[in-house]
Amino acid sequence: MRLIICTTIILLSGSVSAFADDSADFNWDAWRYLPVQDGGRYKPFDTLAWETARLLGNRTAVADPESSDKLNSVALYLTMLFQWEGQSNPSPHMPPTLDYFQSHQPDKWDEAQLLRIDFLELRKALGLPEDQKYISPLKLSKSAFHDAQTGQDIPLLQKAQQLIGRRQQQTSVLDQKLMQLVDAYWTYEDIRMGKNLHLIPVKGSEHELWISVEQFLQTKFDDSNDPDGLLRKTQEQFSTVREAFRDKDPKQFNAASATLLVTLRELGSQQGTYPSQTFISLEVTYNRWVPFRIAWIFTSLAFILSLFGIGSGLRIFNRLALVSCVAGLLAIVTGFAMRIAISGFAPVTNMFESVVYLGLGTTVFGLIFECFYRKGYILTAAMAVATVALILADNCPAVLDPAIRPLQPVLRNNFWLIVHVMTITLSYAAFALALGIGNITLAYYLVRSNNSEAITALSNFTYRVLQVGVLLLAIGTILGAVWAEYSWGRFWGWDPKEVWALIALLGYLAMLHARFAGWIGSLGLAASSVVCLTLVLMAWYGVNYLLGAGLHSYGFGGGGQQYVFTALAIQFLYVAAALLRASLNTDSNLLAPDAELASR
């Protein structure tokens, strides 16, 4: 871990010069390293801006409504803040209000298409065209929600207030999407008024609270509450930065920003607990390098090279594939090491990390089995599965939230939880690898190949990988019971997550028994290894994203159902096609159980 931190400091040593940039452009990069408090933890402004841009419109860059210049997330956040002309509510303890537009005249950002609406039913309920994915904050504030049950139209924000009163009750997917949209709208209001940007620790705060820009600028400081004048100096510097931006003076803005950022760090250190520059720089590096994206680039390259190796028979391609695979593995491990250093917790906190961890496990299993068998097929299947997992994690932030958040109390300082989750997810990785090998096997049947040697080898690989997966799933389930007793005082409670984990275990045990007993052959094993993964998907994804019930509520999420169902439909059609083609094959040796394997 120290090696990573030291490397980060060296790589970021050039960033110091950014604070004194006198170029003709606004230097937004200097602001990336500004420490802020948000979501219960310290983070760089770079992270806050990116998460905010994703929350508003699921975009990393937005065009300025007037100049059409592309603004990255940092520039977008600060531009909306600096261009705010209204007077925000003086009470910082009031909830989001419905009279935001009463405090100022709507400007270009209020009328910009910023807020994304992905859910088709919500667009219909708001009376929007089906193909309109974005709406302006101004138009949203005036929108009416059509309640299909009552047939009445009600102001959208009023509907949201009603839902808040019964948030603990089971709500429909439409209500959940409505609240996500309104939360994005309220976040937009808070950005404009400076409520979301907490820059300075509150001196003597028992809970380590930080003061927002809104509160800071509205507070009147004097010699009694600001004896050294540093708070008043910071207020003046912030105003200078804002005025330089409004005057469109990049040189003055960059110089004033550099001065303000230095003063904020000095002030923050005096006021209370303040994160180190090394810690902040590490997270900015993580954000800008995107190690898991680097990982899927290497794993996809390894997949392509391994295909060339199988097709050409040249060993050089296999060796290059192994090198690329190892590079991808190192990128994943580096990414996890950085996330652990940033959060202080093992990578078991959300669905994003579990999907990436599945990619890690599949890569490791692929390397291990490839080193033992050296056939090329295993590495090809492993790289295909790992690449899909990593690409999904990198490109579906609305479903797989990559944000680093504080853990729920039940998840903290729990050894059994960490071991349980990591073991269970490793079993999922083994089953995913079996899925990949099974699909390759089915391809032989689909093209009516008579290469019985290759099919038998692939069947052996599938059988061994499934054995590893079942062993890990059984151990993980037992460890889950230990954790349940530690956390909830009982080993088993028929929670949906527990039930589906048991169903998945029994399903794979039944498949292994059928193969061992000779009831199914290579074709049956390949098809079963593909179909049985639906049990894993239900235990892993379905309980969290479809059922949304049980004691594992801290892991719930939503979205992506249509893509999952579409992928399953395509997969089932593929299996059905392979089975149909195999049934027309006159070579009975390919359909019968492998006698050697069945006798083991």
3-state helix, strand, coil in the chain (%, to 5): 65, 5, 30
pLDDT tens-digit map of 419-433: 888 999 999 999 999
Q: Nearest CA to 281 among 583, 474, 15, 549?
A: 15
The tally of CA atoms less than 13 A away on the side-chain side of residue 440 is 28
CB atoms within 10 A of CB 431: 29
CB atoms within 10 A of CB 372: 11
The pLDDT of residue 24: 60
In terms of Cβ atoms closer than 10 Å to its own Cβ (0-12, 13-18, 19+), residue 233 is middle
What span, in angstroms and rounded, lies between the C-alpha atoms of 276 and 265? 10
Token look-up 């200097």 returns 30
Question: Can you give 425-438 as a three-state secondary structure string?
Answer: HHHHHHHHHHHHHH
Contact 78, 28 (CB under 8 A): yes
Contact 273, 201 (CB under 8 A): yes
Token look-up 């027309």 returns 584
Q: Nearest CA to 213 among 186, 185, 233, 193?
A: 193
- Which alpha helices (H) appear in 58-118, and where do they start and end? 73-82
What span, in angstroms and rounded, lies between the C-alpha atoms of 496 and 538? 10
The pLDDT of residue 348: 73
What span, in angstroms and rounded, lies between the C-alpha atoms of 357 and 426? 8
Q: Which residues of the chain have pLDDT under 50?
A: 1-23, 88-98, 554, 588-592, 595-600
Beta bridge partners of 146: 153
What span, in angstroms and rounded, lies between the C-alpha atoms of 480 and 83? 52
CB atoms within 10 A of CB 187: 18
What span, in angstroms and rounded, lies between the C-alpha atoms of 361 and 196? 38
Q: 72: helix, coil or strand? A: strand
What span, in angstroms and rounded, lies between the C-alpha atoms of 331 and 321? 15
Q: Nearest CA to 441 among 428, 465, 429, 457?
A: 457
- Which alpha helices (H) appear in 374-404, and where do they start and end? 377-395
Q: 115: helix, coil or strand? A: strand
DSSP 541: I
Dihedral class, residue 518 (left if φ above 0, else alpha if ψ from -120 to 50, else beta): left
Q: 70: helix, coil or strand? A: strand
Token look-up 């083991």 returns 600
Backbone angles phi, psi at 477, to 5 degrees: -65, -40
Numbers of helices and strands, H then E, in the chain:
23, 10
DSSP 14: G
Contact 554, 491 (CB under 8 A): no
Domain locations in the chain? 1-44+194-288, 91-187, 290-407, 413-600
Token look-up 């729920």 returns 408
Residue type, 116: R
Q: What is the CATH code of the structural domain delimited by 290-407?
A: 1.20.120
pTM of the model: 0.85
What span, in angstroms and rounded, lies between the C-alpha atoms of 268 and 290? 29
Tokens of 420: 């349980």
Query: Which residues fall within 8 angstroms of residue 269, CB to CB, at 6 or more apart?
Result: none
Contact 203, 272 (CB under 8 A): yes
In terms of Cβ atoms closer than 10 Å to its own Cβ (0-12, 13-18, 19+), residue 77 is buried
Contact 378, 437 (CB under 8 A): yes
Beta strands in 218-370 (DSSP E): none
The pLDDT of residue 499: 87
Contact 529, 575 (CB under 8 A): no
The pLDDT of residue 99: 67
